[in-house]
Chains A and B, each alone.
Chain A
Amino acid sequence: MKKLIAMMVIMMMVVSLAACGAEEETKTETKTEAKTETVDESEWEIVIVPKDATNPWFVRMNEGVEEYKKVSGLNIYQKGTPEIDATLQSQLIADLIASGVDAICVVPVDPASLEPVLKQAREAGIIVIAHEGASLENIDYDIEAFSNDAYGAFIMDNLAAAMGEEGVYTTMVGHVTNASHNEWADGGVAHQKANYPNMTLLEAEPRVESEDNGDVAYQTAKELLKKYSELKGIMGTSSYDSPGVARAIEELGLTGKVATAGTGLPAANAEILKSGAVNALTLWDPALAGQAMAAMAVKMLRGEEITDNCDLNVEGYRNLTFKPGSDKVFEGQGWIVINKENVDSFGF
């Protein structure tokens, strides 16, 4: 038995060695071809890696990516893991590096866990673009839909309006390690301190996690509301937070007494917007974010220079500016507000 396994291992090695030789040959061939002819853009392979494949947010992103693929005629596709899991995402990227793609655009589950694999990607000459991953180091560029502070302030304005500009509130993020969510929450809190003096942050639990999961958001909100009777508002960040919180508010009969504001998809939340459990949700369109990442990757593959005030020719991403103090993180102007009146007009 052991011999059989040993034989197979040897066979595998031989096969892989042979394959390696073959691969190197073809590589040198294509290199010489590339010198004589113009670059064949149809050979490019650009992959968008979302947090997972089944989350409606990334299903919408996939729609945008597919549309961009059609318009550009390039080989661009989205490939996600079946569930949100940092280890699975890292392995998917390792597999993509091994299959020699040209660009990887990623929305990280847990930015810290991706650093080693993204480092390998860049060492292999692959272009790495991120979205919602401002803290990442091993990337070419990160594209944010907007300045995180400004978006946080914007959510806070919505929450303050719903709370009548007074009372105790707290903030909810997907994971406390998610850079964007936390920057929104920080921006919201800073905005409140500057503009809404009658509101106060719940000191015992200023930031809670929903783990990017509606049920966890709901449970956490329920616990919070039972534990702290003075709590009057919860600022959500991930697309699961406010909808989950709204369910808890409705179930506890606190509609109108406790408010929430945050990110959310229109179709999934039409009911809670119309019932008044949530006043207004804010959003950027994941389809456009996916297109912006793909457009940036194409721009870099074409060898165009990337500068401040960069135009990706995608709505909301026509004037990307560097985040102050960074030469990697771009910010667009891609936010939208959804309320009772316009919720049915988005089509997703």
Chain B
Amino acid sequence: MTEVDGFVAWVRAFAASIESHQGELTDLDSAIGDADHGANMARGMAAVVAALDAAEFETVGALFKKVGMTLVSTVGGASGPLYGTLFLRIGTAAGEATSLDPDSVAKALRAGLEGVVARGRPEAGDKTMFDALSPALDALDQALTDGSPLSEALRAASQAADEGRDATTPMLARKGRASYLGERSVGHQDPGATSAALLIATAAETLP
């Protein structure tokens, strides 16, 4: 079972990872977007950390709803509504629980991804965060079905997310600002898929 504290550790680790990869995210976004993904995510996750410092959370749902609302209110761009909706839906799925078993973790993450799909309407191969998250959650479900413990299943998910992120490089962008470039978006790794892979990687590092 993963307690609220475990999820707090994940969110903090994600914030630290975004901070240390801020320059890389901005460089990737300079190539095919508008050079703000690193700064926006760093600003949003810093606000999330401040919110975590200021409050105690009794339930997993309350924690993730706070994370989601904070991102919606501070990030802007497309990342704010997308990451915000992701965490809000994770929070809604977790509800009043004070801890989650591995299957409930997977279900909550799946609900988060469905929120991203509802907000941004991405499809596989559009060169977006979906291309990292979707294979990651498929791998997570598969590993749990095969009887792996959560930590091992999340490592499989993280590997799938990294592969999904790498696979965005040859893709032609069909969503977001990169889509304006047409063929010129080919050959660049997607910034959103990159930050999404960090989200899964930090989950694998922190969630027991």
- Do A and B make up one complex? no
